Amino acid sequence: MTRERIPLDELRQRVAACHACPLADGRTNTVFGEGDPHARVLIVGEAPGKNEDLQGRPFVGAAGKYLDELLAIAGLAREDVFIANVLKCRPPGNRDPRPEEIQACVPFLREQTRTIDPEYIVTLGNFSTKFILKTDRGITGLHGQLHQAGRFKVFPIFHPAAALYDSKKREALENDFATLGEMLAREDAR
């Protein structure tokens, strides 16, 4: 028997009420994610930063502005995709997520993925890629290639924040988003 999909609004309320790890104590807002609830592409980042915590929305800071540009390269706008993170609360000082925080939070991402049921999951950076692909391999060796996880096509890409500090990553990011756009267009044309 297949399990019922939990509506996104209900999941959002569960996230808002969550105290499963100590990150809940330091948050201003949870960041559930946003976008098309039936999106063909689910984008998965790492965790909210300062601006995201203040506004309760994903990717609204400098990395988010760049993500908008990258989406445009793939022929996409924010409203066309759903954007979520591995963690729904901000780690203090934007430190890396800890294994126990990931473990506490990922049931939400798992349910979001089941409910949205995208064709593609675009993982941004190491944390989301390792979780979705269940691998220890780093993003440098995985980005820009199509992988499969269950029924989902998974396309890992560097995290846009990485390019803010390393201009060489820009080219890889922009190429990978162009490839994503080509894959989407190719299948559209079928």
Give the x-and-dash track for 70-109 against ligand URA (CB under 6 A).
Answer: ---------------x------------------------
Q: Is 52 in the site for ligand URA (CB under 6 A)?
A: yes
Q: Tally the residues of the chain.
A: 190
Choice between 15 and 31, CB closer to ligand URA: 31
Q: How far apart are CA 10 and CA 29, in angstroms?
A: 17
Count interface residues toward ligand URA (CB under 6 A): 12
Give one DSSP letter per residue of 68-137, joined into a string. Answer: HHHHHHTT--GGGSEEEES-SSPPGGGPPPPHHHHHHHHHHHHHHHHHH--SEEEEESHHHHHHHHT---
Backbone angles phi, psi at 96, to 5 degrees: -65, 145
Q: Is 39 in the site for ligand URA (CB under 6 A)?
A: no
Q: Is 156 in the site for ligand URA (CB under 6 A)?
A: no
- Of 5-13, 58-66, 130-138, 162-170, the window that binds ligand URA (rule: CB under 6 A) is 58-66
Q: Is 118 in the site for ligand URA (CB under 6 A)?
A: no
What's the token pair of residue 161? 């924040």
Q: By the criterion CB under 6 A, which residues form the site for ligand URA?
A: 31, 45-49, 52, 58-59, 63, 85, 161
